[in-house]
Amino acid sequence: MENMINNSIFEIPSCMGINRIDLESEHLLDYRDIIIQSTRINNQDSEEMIFYKRYKHQFITYHTMLYDKPFKCCSYIISYNNNTSGTISYGRIIVFYKYNDEYFAFIQRYQTSKKKISDFVELPIEIIERLDQLYPLMELSNDYDIISVGTFRHKCTLVPFQDAFCLSEIRVDFEHD
């Protein structure tokens, strides 16, 4: 009976940064000053940080804009809980870093467009609000932020739409390493 039922112990992978990168790397050239300024605002010492191109949370791998083997997915666009406003926000991950055994993401934020997806379709009023919730039109801002990876909600799909992007948490993930 014992041979028929194999109770192998499975350990859930821990959270970790992958593909370490140095702050002085040429990949961070466009963002280095903004990263240093942002971390100072958060009272974090950039010299004590370890930077990464990817972050693995159990079975989910998040990538950054700097990752050079992106496959067919775009897993650097995420939704997250904005603790300041209490809303769902969107951003694209520039780089991950570890500071005092905690992981953070340096992101470029998306802002809500003045246009709504419902402006382009004719639907009953009962559907329009939900449509705009599921598929908000966003624009990439020039604002950056540091967020804890604990605030992540989902990877998101992004579809260019006129001069904005249609972002959604609804997606099918393709993982690769």
Domain ranges for the chain: 16-168
This prediction has a pTM of 0.80
Residue 176 has pLDDT above 60, yes or no: no
Element (H, E) at 6: none
Q: Which CATH class is domain 16-168?
A: mainly beta
Q: Is the pLDDT of residue 177 over 80?
A: no
* pLDDT digit string, tens, across residues 32-44: 888 888 888 878 8
